[in-house]
Structure 1
Amino acid sequence: MPKSIATVCLSGSLPDKLEAAAAAGFDGVEIFENDLLTFDGAPGDIRRMCEDLGLAITLFQPFRDFEGMPEPQRVRNLDRAERKFDTMQALGTDLVLVCSNVQAAALGEPARAAADLREMAERAARRDLRVCYEALAWGKHVSRWRQAWEIVRQADHPALGLCLDSFHSLALGDDLSGIAQAVPPDKIFFLQLADAPRLSMDVLSWSRHHRLFPGQGELPVTAFLRDLLASGWNGTLSLEIFNDEFRSAPSRRIARDGLRSLDWLEEQVGRVLLPAAPQLSGIEFLEFAVDRPTRANLGQFLAGLGFHHAGTHRSKDVELWRNGGAHIVLNAEPDSAAAERFEQLGPSVCATALRVDDPMRVVARAEALQYPVWRERTGEGEHRIPAIRAPDGTLVYLVSAPASGESPIWADDFRLAPDVVEPAALLGVDHVAQAVAPGMMDSFVLFYRALFGLQPDAPWEIPDPYGLVRSRAFVAPNGSVRLPLNVSESTRTGTGRFVSALAGAGVHHIAFAATDAFAALDDAAGRHAPLLDIPANYYEDLGARFGLDDAELEALKARHVLYDRDNDGGVFRHAYTRQFQDRAFLEIVERSGGYVGFGAANASVRMAAQRRTPIPSADATRDMD
């Protein structure tokens, strides 16, 4: 289906916005009137720019506060419309958006509104132009699409039709049920799409500041479009997003995200066939970018949780550390993406490897969605592992689980050390949390949802001693991959501090699954692991909230284990290490009874404890055992 984007979605001057829309691959643009008013040139110049860029001007908008006004304002409004028709003809577009009147003086008579719109449509038709009428969610008398359609139906003019906007309907709890029986598809002249988080605020402020691309929010935009398509409508998908962060972000990045969101939305309603989203089966490894001294320190840090040096890469300066099913790669190779990351940001996670059913199909899907693909150099006989660049530049490797009889990637690419006995072996990676820079959360939401098919949990707001952290987790349908995303505007918070240290964003928290958290932590304590101290007051409150007996409370307290329980009786026990050089910390978790969360209720306790706990120096880490 043709795809369009309103210029209000993007930052920069009008030429910047047009160039970004064309570069992303849009077929057309809505010209927002304010962008035209601030453009230093004639409407014909915009027309020529769009023609050179291969962009159609799908709509000129908005024309405000028109219908139902008393005299003499009614006459002035019709004169104003004639002037806008001049502009439209110079722009080369035939369609103008009229949004429902919000003025206190507007008359609440549908017949009068219909008569005014019929007169406007008649004048437009004389110039081969058309008018579409939209119900604003905060309109004085018309706020729902059924009301707008009744006025359009009464006006009964071929040059007048309906404009539908998913935000205006869904924000009011409305939907398009019954539209197939009520509205002929050829009378739906235009469609604007927007998602949004669910917020408790006035709908005008919600609309003007918090709209998102489809898939980034929590509104049922997919169901909205599916109902519309079922009516027989088959027009242009256009984005109209008012978002403060979008308007300050690089226009090309936002435009690409906008097109991705429409590609994803078309896939959801069965109108486009992308290479299928992957079947995920877990996180195979995390890779740290290090130099040799840092690698030695980080190896000692990992040893505190029972990891051991399990192998060295055959052709690169890379080590494998392992504890049971958990793998960590320490990459000090000079000629690599990791070296670039280390040079820019210091020691940090530079890659996450996901186990997928078909890596090359995921690559094809990424290319279809315009996500950049990375291919690392490989030596003779080594596995070629494709990777996708995430929005912050980190890599997501795509690893296939070995089929029966096949050797894992470690066997061919590494000189493996003999197996060792692991009395408290970990099961693998339970979840990986990422600190996201302000303004980047929505790009990551689309990345994980559209490319990998992860499903979003409800957003959380977590209090920190120095601010607020917004968190949203993305989980594979089968639960095998869990990726919480965290953002904070303050660099003093736990999350903000890691973002500041990384000069951008990065994995700051890796949780490993254990069948018995107590046994794993007792083993870690015996290895002098730098575990995070939790204040005694937490356990006093814990006993009161959950009714735990004294013996269990004492066992939790002795090991600095935090506890959570859901409404279905699922239990979560977890404990943290201190931060490694202010970059990342580790966690041991035990899930039982079907618990699916992340212990979010304990996050503020953890962040406060991290603020109190000194960060181990490199020397202290080196001498830890």
Structure 2
Amino acid sequence: MFPFKIALNTSTLFPFKLNVIQQIEIAAEAGYEGIELWMKDIEAYIASGGTVQDIKSALEKANIEFINAIAFFKWADVDIDTRKAAFEQAEKEMQLLESLGCKYIAAPPFGDVEETSLDEMASYFVHLVQIGRQVGVEPILEFWGKAKKLSTLDEARYVLDQSNVSNGKMLLDPFHMYVGGSDFTGLENLKGDQIGVFHINDCPSHPVKEELTDQDRVFPGEGDSPTSEIAKILNNIQYDGYLSLELFIEDFQGKTVAEVAKYGLNSVRNSYSVME
């Protein structure tokens, strides 16, 4: 049984240097139901002469859902002026994303956050969500395993709880859980509707955890992550949203982009199926 939907985070395709239209087409041809695009790729396409309508038309033609955008604005930075600029950047980006039908935007601990308290983060997240909901794009809270603050599932849950945002959501990732020291069983304490998107990848046994980088991620089922256990927990807490393949592999050893996309889809389906 496979109770989830599968999306492709286009970081997986970065080695092929595709524009957003090509990324959308490849994801759809491989059979993905959803896609996560990066703001930098959207902006680069528009800067080179493409239009918002071009992207919107490509999404509609492909019949693929634009589930989330990967963006980097310093919403939790310790500096007030930096945060102000970040909220302005976020609003501008969310307005563009709303016109493309994007559902979520990622809100990771980007910037100088070490001296920002979790309670302060909670209040800043409230402000970010207020902006997003006025625009029509929902910010989802992301933690990074190697961040100076907001590096664990527990910290993210605390921020979300303290923010008291109604129906607030998180973006979760096994890689960040592993390198940040989060216990995977902590997922059991969540409700399925607290997860906006669940990134999919696997962690190799080498190098050691402290030395792992994003580029070391491997396809699900090819590392040491307890994929079947995670899948079972997600199903038990009634998460039925997107599992989105997010890799940063720099060399696919001669595989074509179509082969990589299809292989990734199958690896997600095979490793995250749930035994009935």
Q: Does 1:220 align with 2:226?
A: yes
- The structure-2 alpha-carbon separation of the partners of 1:199 and 1:160, relative to structure 1 and needing over 3 Å to count, comes to same
Amino acid at match of 1:222: S
Q: Is the 8 A contact 1:101 1:140 kept in 2?
A: no
For 1:170 and 1:248, locate their aligned partners in 2 and report how far apart those are by CA, in whole Å.
29
For 1:141 and 1:173, locate their aligned partners in 2 and report how far apart those are by CA, in whole Å.
13
1:101 positional shift: 3.2
- The structure-2 alpha-carbon separation of the partners of 1:69 and 1:16, relative to structure 1 and needing over 3 Å to count, comes to same
| Counterpart for residue 10 of structure 2 | 7
1:159 positional shift: 5.8
Greater radius of gyration (CA)? 1
1:262 positional shift: 1.6
Cα offsets for 1:414-467 (capped at 9, x unmatched): xxxxxxxxxxxxxxxxxxxxxxxxxxxxxxxxxxxxxxxxxxxxxxxxxxxxxx
- The structure-2 alpha-carbon separation of the partners of 1:173 and 1:120, relative to structure 1 and needing over 3 Å to count, comes to closer
Q: Is the 8 A contact 2:76 2:111 kept in 1?
A: no
For 1:270 and 1:35, locate their aligned partners in 2 and report how far apart those are by CA, in whole Å.
38
| Counterpart for residue 235 of structure 2 | 229
Which structure's residues are more often strand, by fraction? 1
For 1:42 and 1:158, locate their aligned partners in 2 and report how far apart those are by CA, in whole Å.
34
1:178 positional shift: 3.7
Which structure's residues are more often helix, by fraction? 2
Secondary structure (helix, strand or coil) at the match of 2:185 reads coil
Cα offsets for 1:214-234 (capped at 9, x unmatched): 112222222223222222222
| Counterpart for residue 187 of structure 1 | 194
Matched-pair identity in %:
21
Q: CA RMSD in A?
A: 2.1
Q: Is the 8 A contact 1:60 1:97 kept in 2?
A: yes
| Counterpart for residue 166 of structure 2 | 158
| Counterpart for residue 143 of structure 1 | 151
Q: Does 1:100 align with 2:109?
A: yes
| Counterpart for residue 507 of structure 1 | none
Q: Is the 8 A contact 2:167 2:194 kept in 1?
A: no
| Counterpart for residue 142 of structure 2 | 134
Amino acid at match of 1:188: I
- The structure-2 alpha-carbon separation of the partners of 1:179 and 1:120, relative to structure 1 and needing over 3 Å to count, comes to same
For 1:77 and 1:64, locate their aligned partners in 2 and report how far apart those are by CA, in whole Å.
5
Q: How does 1:465-504 map to 2 (within 5 A)?
A: none
1:263 positional shift: 1.6
Q: Which has the higher contact order (CA 8 A, sep 6+)?
A: 2
Secondary structure (helix, strand or coil) at the match of 1:160 reads coil
Q: Is the 8 A contact 1:193 1:214 kept in 2?
A: yes
1:63 positional shift: 2.8
- The structure-2 alpha-carbon separation of the partners of 1:124 and 1:54, relative to structure 1 and needing over 3 Å to count, comes to same
| Counterpart for residue 122 of structure 1 | 130
Q: Is the 8 A contact 1:98 1:132 kept in 2?
A: yes
1:142 positional shift: 1.3
Q: Structure 2 stretches of 5 or more lacking a match? A: none
- The structure-2 alpha-carbon separation of the partners of 1:172 and 1:82, relative to structure 1 and needing over 3 Å to count, comes to closer
Q: Is the 8 A contact 1:214 1:262 kept in 2?
A: yes
Q: Does 1:42 align with 2:51?
A: yes
For 1:217 and 1:79, locate their aligned partners in 2 and report how far apart those are by CA, in whole Å.
40
The count of aligned residue pairs is 267
Amino acid at match of 2:124: D
Q: Does 1:63 align with 2:72?
A: yes
| Counterpart for residue 256 of structure 1 | 262
